[in-house]
Structure formats: C-alpha cells, structure tokens
Amino acid sequence: MKEIKVLGPGCPKCKTTYTNVLEALKQTNIEANVVKVEDIEEMMKYNVLTTPVLMIDEQIKIKGRVAQVNEIVELLR
C-alpha cells in the first residue's frame, strides 16, 4: 500500500492538495495511507521550507504549490 503525506500548516493550499489527493485516489481506485502533517517540527524533519508538499512513499514529488488531481493520478501510476 502506498504511503502519501501532505505536509503543510493547514493553509488553504495545503487543504486543497489534501482534497486533491483523496480525489485522485478515488479516480484510480488505488488504496493508500494518507497522512496530513501539520506539525511544524515534524515538517522540519523533511527539510522543506515551502508548503504544501506532496510525498509519495517518502519521496517529495511536488512542493510549494497545489498538486492538481490529474498530476497526482499520473504520479500514482
């Protein structure tokens, strides 16, 4: 099962990215463990300064902007 993390302090862009991840999973019928990381100290462990960050299986895929549903679908395939 894939591990997907959305890192961000809870800003609108972070929430949109999280919602887009859920929509992409629904479209692809892929099961994944989706975690929203809002704790600043936890985010610092990944050494990221710009949010939102989309991580799939512990690899940063998109950072600093909202990940669109179609982009996430492609990353999951």
Q: Which of 4, 6, 7, 14 is catalytic?
A: 14
b/e 8-44 (16+ beta carbons within 10 angstroms → b): beeeeebebbbebbeebbeeeeeebeeebbeeeeebe
Q: Which of 3, 9, 10, 11 is catalytic?
A: 11
Query: Active site includes 32?
Result: no
Query: Active site includes 11?
Result: yes
Q: Which positions are catalytic?
A: 11, 14
